[in-house]
């Protein structure tokens, strides 16, 4: 079974347990943040592979430019112009190896030693790891101290699946500092399309990051970075130094796929698909472990959960793997150490909804075993979750049609 995301908690053996979970037969995976295989357009991608491989001159097997395939960049620019990035052209787009490389390039451009980055209290673990590798000090997004730059997910946050408030967006722009806007889940806002990106309001300071990993498939590793003009040459030099260019074959396949299929019509289907799963998982958790707090996500692949006891998460994950279910321990997402109840992310994206009841029963058994004797953090109901005041309270989405 596929896995990803070694977390900042590796030293605690979480990574070893996660890998063990992946190799456990019959385990139901509620961790990892992987898209559903059922949504990979396999036959269409196979057609595109064949077509680009047999094309005259085989450009898909040849070297390309560091910024990427022009026709693919044009398609990305056209899509983003529709989202509000007016006037964007192919020349503004760098095709990257997924959103991860786009964040890495933007960070490399912006980071200097001893500098700081503003992040939400819970954030994307591989970005947090990246910032740590640059020696960046983390500051709360809401801190009055001004960080050198910020990293945010305004449309759909990971892990919470929330959306940044208008007030927060305005406050961030008013700081007039660079921002990395990670829109990895932007197309999967359930009530989408997502609002105009921050980059539409301040294209001189906002680096915009996107990806086909969540809406097409992550294996091709095709993402993009829009760099404000004054940093563009530097970003391109760094991209070339890192890997010369993104994979020609993967770019050609995505380009061919986009030329032949209506990607925009695919998105509402995906949003409905994942929203239904979010609702099914939420109901299953409510039934199996009513004392856990969470909010229905507005988009993305996961539900962020606060339990009602402070339990060693390694012990909990070990018990869960023994019960043949997995989850993402919360500390990997926490930007700074916090006291309080154990937290976790449960993903509804990969496992089948028919498995959710069984998965949450297993999780409840593991939780009871792990929490035996742990200090109780008080019983609370859904809706009282601690949440950044920069993230909007979810408005209960209408039932998926």
Give the closest residue to 310 by CA, choosing from 342, 274, 334, 264.
Answer: 342
Give me the residue label for tokens 């449309």: 155
Stretch that binds ligand PLP, among 95-103, 160-168, 285-293, 389-397 (CB under 6 A): 95-103
Stretch that binds ligand PLP, among 98-106, 140-148, 360-368, 385-393 (CB under 6 A): 98-106
User: Binding-site residue total for ligand PLP (CB under 6 A)?
Assistant: 13
Comparison of 100 and 318: residue with beta carbon closer to ligand PLP: 100
CA distance 206 to 218: 24
* CB 150 within 8 Å of CB 179: yes
CA distance 26 to 47: 33
Q: Which of 223, 297, 299, 330 binds ligand PLP (CB under 6 A)?
A: 223
141 lines the binding site for ligand PLP (CB under 6 A): no
Closest approach of ligand PLP to the CB of residue 98, in Å? 2
Comparison of 178 and 299: residue with beta carbon closer to ligand PLP: 299
* CB 107 within 8 Å of CB 135: no
| Strands of the sheet with 206-211, listed across from one edge | 93-97, 222-226, 206-211, 179-182, 149-152, 116-119, 137-140
Q: Which of 33, 160, 330, 394 binds ligand PLP (CB under 6 A)?
A: 33
Helices (H) then strands (E): counts for the chain: 12, 13
Dihedral sign, Cα of residue 51, residue 55, residue 58, residue 59? negative
153 lines the binding site for ligand PLP (CB under 6 A): yes
18 lines the binding site for ligand PLP (CB under 6 A): no
Comparison of 116 and 213: residue with beta carbon closer to ligand PLP: 213
Closest approach of ligand PLP to the CB of residue 36, in Å? 14
For residue 279, count other CB atoms closer than 10 A to its CB: 18
Comparison of 129 and 202: residue with beta carbon closer to ligand PLP: 129
Instruction: Give, as one character, the DSSP assignment of residue 32.
Output: S
Q: Which of 31, 35, 64, 98 binds ligand PLP (CB under 6 A)?
A: 98
Rounded to 10 deg, the angle between the 248-260 and 70-82 helix axes is 50
Comparison of 182 and 306: residue with beta carbon closer to ligand PLP: 182
Instruction: Give, as one character, the DSSP assignment of residue 63.
Output: -
Stretch that binds ligand PLP, among 65-73, 96-104, 275-283, 393-401 (CB under 6 A): 96-104
Q: ∠ CA 257-261-263 to the nearest 5 degrees? A: 95
Near ligand PLP in 174-213, by CB under 6 A: 182, 184, 211, 213
297 lines the binding site for ligand PLP (CB under 6 A): no
Assigned token pair, 62: 């040849």
Comparison of 64 and 218: residue with beta carbon closer to ligand PLP: 218
299 lines the binding site for ligand PLP (CB under 6 A): no
Interface with ligand PLP (CB under 6 A):
33, 98-100, 124, 153, 158, 182, 184, 211, 213, 218, 223
């Amino acid at each position: 079974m596929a896995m990803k995301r070694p977390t900042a908690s590796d030293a605690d053996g979480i990574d070893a347990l996660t890998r063990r979970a992946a190799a456990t037969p019959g385990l139901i995976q509620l961790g990892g943040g992987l898209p559903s295989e059922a949504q990979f357009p396999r036959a269409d991608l196979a057609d595109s592979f064949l077509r680009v491989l047999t094309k005259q001159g085989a450009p898909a097997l040849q070297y390309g430019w560091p910024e990427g395939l022009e026709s693919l960049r044009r398609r990305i620019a056209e899509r983003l112009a529709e989202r509000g990035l007016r006037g964007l052209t192919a020349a503004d787009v760098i095709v990257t190896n997924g959103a991860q490389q786009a964040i890495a390039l933007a960070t490399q451009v912006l980071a200097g030693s001893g500098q700081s980055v503003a992040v939400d209290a819970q954030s994307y673990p591989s970005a947090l790891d990246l910032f740590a590798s640059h020696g960046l000090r983390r500051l709360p997004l809401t801190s009055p101290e001004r960080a050198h730059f910020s990293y945010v997910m305004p449309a759909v946050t990971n892990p919470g699946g929330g959306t940044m408030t208008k007030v927060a967006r305005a406050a961030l722009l008013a700081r007039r500092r660079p921002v990395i806007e990670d829109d990895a889940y932007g197309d999967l806002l359930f009530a989408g399309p997502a609002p105009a990106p921050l980059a539409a309001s301040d294209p001189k300071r906002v680096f915009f990051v996107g990806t086909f990993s969540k809406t097409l498939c992550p294996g091709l590793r095709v993402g993009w970075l829009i760099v404000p003009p004054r940093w563009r040459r530097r970003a391109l030099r760094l991209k070339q130094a890192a890997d010369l260019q993104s994979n020609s074959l993967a770019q050609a396949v995505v380009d061919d796929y986009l030329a032949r299929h209506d990607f925009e019509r695919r998105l509402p289907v995906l949003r409905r698909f994942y929203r239904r799963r979010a609702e099914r998982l939420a109901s299953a958790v409510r039934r199996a472990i009513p004392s856990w707090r969470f909010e229905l996500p507005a988009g993305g692949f996961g539900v962020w959960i606060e339990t009602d006891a402070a339990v060693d998460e390694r012990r909990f994950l070990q018990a869960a793997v023994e019960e043949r279910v997995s989850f993402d321990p919360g500390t990997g997402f926490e930007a700074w150490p916090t006291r309080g109840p154990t937290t976790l992310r449960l993903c509804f994206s990969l496992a089948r909804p028919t498995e959710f009841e069984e998965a949450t029963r297993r999780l409840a058994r593991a939780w009871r075993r792990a929490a035996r004797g742990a200090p109780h953090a008080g019983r609370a109901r859904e809706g009282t979750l601690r949440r950044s005041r920069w993230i909007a309270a979810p408005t209960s989405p209408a039932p998926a049609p």
